[in-house]
Chain A
Amino acid sequence: MSHLIDIVVAFLRGAGRATIFFGLVLAAVPSALMRPRLLAQQVYAVGVLSMVIIVVSGSFVGMVLALQGYRTLVGFGAEESLGVLVALGVVRELGPVLTALLFAGRAGSAVTAEIGLMRATDQLSGMEMMAVDPVRRVVAPRFIAGFLSMPLLAAIFSVMAIGVAGGHLIGVQLLGVDEGAYWSQIHAQVEFNDVWNGVVKSVVFGTAVSWIAVYQGYHALPTSSGVSDATKNTVVMSSLAILALDFILTAFMFEGV
């Protein structure tokens, strides 16, 4: 029983510290926005360098969805609805969720390891002693970069899955679904709300992953195993947070329908 209480207290203490840290990061955002060069460097590191994995994954997810969907739809003579199936699945769910999971593995872990190593090698303490606030100089630009990059990466994922190499390539080019029907069904059935919900999800996931990544890195123990643990925690906690938040957001969004 006392062990359970210890775990709960430790969890609450961690949650409290993470919330205070989030407040510090948000307070540092305006000053980070005043340094576009620094921000551009981080958007490149966090966002642009994640594009390859997002483009490739989006293409394969779209292709698999098209193959699986076509098998089912063709039995009902409804293969012309393939575009809608792929588009709704990707825009509402798979785009934001898979992009966020890949983003956590690719960019979140890199941000944590980078900040954690800066902690372990006294670079953050060095900045503090030079009267440079590391939350402003190091943490906030990385947080903003993650926040901005995630929705854009999710959009790229969806475009690749639906329109370019995924559903379109397999459905239209390979399986012979009529191209006009493919696009017109998407146009008719996918509503603005579906796209908007996907955008909201990707913004929430981007915030969560970036917050977890910078928090874990900044509070990593200054040892090799400490940095390794922090990196692992970022991937595990981000993945769980993404899936849990997806459930909560989806429940609210369905309620609104």
Chain B
Amino acid sequence: MDHSSDNLVRIRGLHFRFGPRVIFDGADFDFERGKVTAVMGPSGIGKTTLLRIMGGQYKPDAGSVHVDGVDVPALKRRELFEYRKRLALMFQNGALLTDLNVFDNVAFPLREHSKLPESMIADLVLMKLEAVGLRGARDLFPEECSGGMQRRIAFARAVALDPMMVMYDEPFTGQDPMNLGVLARLVRKLNDALGTTSIIVSHDVAETLDISDYVYLISDGKVAAQGTADEIRRSGVESIRQFLKGEPDGPVPFHVKAPEYRKDLMGEAA
């Protein structure tokens, strides 16, 4: 499991459930420092939950979660906030503050956590916005920006404090091909330029594999496969091939478990 000795994140025997639904059933993960690691799998499999567990928003039912040596589930509220200053989570919908404009959104973490003078904050914000190509959109409000622009603003905000780890939750979902390429290149570029560690949760196969150093595929609450992007592409495992090729049926069934169709229609199902 230990694919490198320099792991920023080490998760062992992760168990987590929402009510009766088992999300993780003894999964192990290692995320290497300075690399882009992807966690892939079908929708609803628990990818976002994994990010929230690493961010301390959910506590696992069992197992250990260590990030840079910090035992995340054991953190108290105050310690948790200190820990979170060193990481960033980019939400699927951007989670931009709708009553602030683009500039103020990116400046938000700087103003909250630093005592920098406003002139320096302005310079830092413009540098981050330049990196994502939106320096010219600084005065717009989130609702005036397209979905792709909102993701890029969220990118800029996520890296405003130069975090040790950036977690991206479905960064490519719902984007047109051009935006998708832009966003994928940005993830890679920001990771390498800032020397941070990136974790991408996604089900956009091609783009994610293109920019990832290492990939985890999860299924049924466990790690179904892992390896470099090339190893995953070449895999002969049927369930991996089904996922990568987007086939509707296979080892992962198209239909959710249900009573027999005829009996259901006839009203005979229990």
Contacts and interface: CB of A to CB of B under 8 A. Distances in A.
Interface of A: 121-123, 125-133, 137
Contact of A131 (B81, B93, B95): B81
Given A122-B91, A122-B93, A126-B95, A133 B57 contact: no
Interface in B86-104: 87-89, 91-93, 95-98
Contact of B84 (A121, A123, A130): A130
Contact of A129 (B88, B92, B93, B112): B88
Contacts of A122: 91-93, 95
A129 B55 contact: yes
Nearest to A128: B57
Most buried by A among B95, B96, B97, B108: B95
Contact of A130 (B57, B83, B93, B108): B108
Contact of B109 (A123, A128, A130, A133): A130
A127 B93 CA distance: 14
A126 B106 CA distance: 13
B113 interface: yes
B176 interface: no
Contact of B95 (A121, A133, A137): A121
Given A121-B98, A123-B95, A123-B97, A129 B81 contact: no
A131 B113 contact: yes
9 tightest CB-CB pairs across the interface, nearest first? A126-B95, A131-B84, A122-B95, A129-B89, A131-B85, A131-B81, A130-B109, A122-B91, A132-B112
Interface of B: 55, 57, 81-85, 87-89, 91-93, 95-98, 108-109, 112-113, 157
Contacts of B108: 130, 132
Contacts of A121: 93, 95, 98
B30 to A, nearest CB: 22
Nearest to A24: B77
A256 to B, nearest CB: 42
Contacts of A137: 112
Given A123-B95, A125-B57, A129-B89, 19 more contacts: A121-B93, A122-B93, A123-B96, A123-B97, A125-B91, A125-B95, A126-B91, A126-B97, A128-B57, A129-B84, A129-B87, A129-B88, A129-B91, A130-B84, A130-B88, A130-B157, A131-B81, A131-B83, A131-B113
Contacts of B91: 122, 125-126, 129
Contacts of A133: 81
B121 to A, nearest CB: 15
Contacts of B97: 123, 126-127
A131 B88 CA distance: 9
A132 B98 CA distance: 16
B151 to A, nearest CB: 13
A129 B72 CA distance: 13
A129 B57 contact: yes
Contacts of B109: 130-132
A131 to B, nearest CB: 4
A239 B87 CA distance: 43
7 contacts: A121-B95, A122-B93, A129-B89, A130-B109, A130-B112, A131-B82, A137-B112
Contacts of A129: 55, 57, 84, 87-89, 91
A248 B81 CA distance: 41
Nearest to A130: B109
A229 to B, nearest CB: 21
Contacts of B96: 123, 126
A142 B74 CA distance: 31
B107 to A, nearest CB: 12
B205 to A, nearest CB: 25
A237 B108 CA distance: 34
Nearest to A41: B99
Nearest to B169: A122
B152 to A, nearest CB: 16
Contacts of A128: 57, 84
B256 to A, nearest CB: 22
Contacts of B95: 121-123, 125-126
Name the residue in A121, A125, A131 with the highest tally of chain B Cβ atoms < 10 Å from its Cβ. Answer: A131
Nearest to A126: B95
